[in-house]
Amino acid sequence: SQTIHQWPATLVQPVGSPLSLECTVEGTSNPNLYWYRQAAGRGLQLLFYSVGIGQISSEVPQNLSASRPQDRQFILSSKKLLLSDSGFYLCAWGGRTSGANVLTFGAGSRLTVL
């Protein structure tokens, strides 16, 4: 069966520090991968999505970046965090067949920037 892992689960970082959130998927090949952010009291904001290794599309201009060094690995990074980067970050994967629309989400990473 397919599983998705995100880490770390919780992170407290000072303003201006770097960030790396990692997401890995098991049990599937060539998935579509997504990074979402949830700010307090708000819905889901799509940050990045990827249809393959090295292929990243950015939905919102910001100081975050994403990379996909391996088929089932998706990394969210920042060189210098801002206070506004605080939030709940969710990684998700989707397939390529008729069920492609069904997303499976990780448990999330809570980032607090102080």
Partner 1 sequence: AQSVTQPDIHITVSEGASLELRCNYSYGATPYLFWYVQSPGQGLQLLLKYFSGDTLVQGIKGFEAEFKRSQSSFNLRKPSVHWSDAAEYFCAVGRSGGSYIPTFGRGTSLIVHP
Q: Please report whether residue 54 would count as binding partner 1 according to CB under 8 A.
A: no
Q: Please report whether residue 32 would count as binding partner 1 according to CB under 8 A.
A: yes
Q: Please report whether residue 104 would count as binding partner 1 according to CB under 8 A.
A: yes
A 10 A CB-CB count for 108 gives 17
Contacts of 87 (CB under 8 A, 6+ apart): 37, 38, 39, 40, 111
Q: What is the largest CA-CA distance in the chain?
A: 43
| Strand duo 3-7 + 55-58: pairing | unpaired
Q: Which is nearer to partner 1, 34 or 74 (CB)?
A: 34
Q: Please report whether residue 101 would count as binding partner 1 according to CB under 8 A.
A: yes
One residue of 43, 54, 61, 69 binding partner 1 per CB under 8 A: 43
Q: Which is nearer to partner 1, 15 or 39 (CB)?
A: 39
One residue of 21, 37, 49, 87 binding partner 1 per CB under 8 A: 49
Q: Please report whether residue 69 would count as binding partner 1 according to CB under 8 A.
A: no
Contacts of 64 (CB under 8 A, 6+ apart): 19, 47, 48, 76, 77, 78, 85
Q: Which is nearer to partner 1, 90 or 113 (CB)?
A: 90
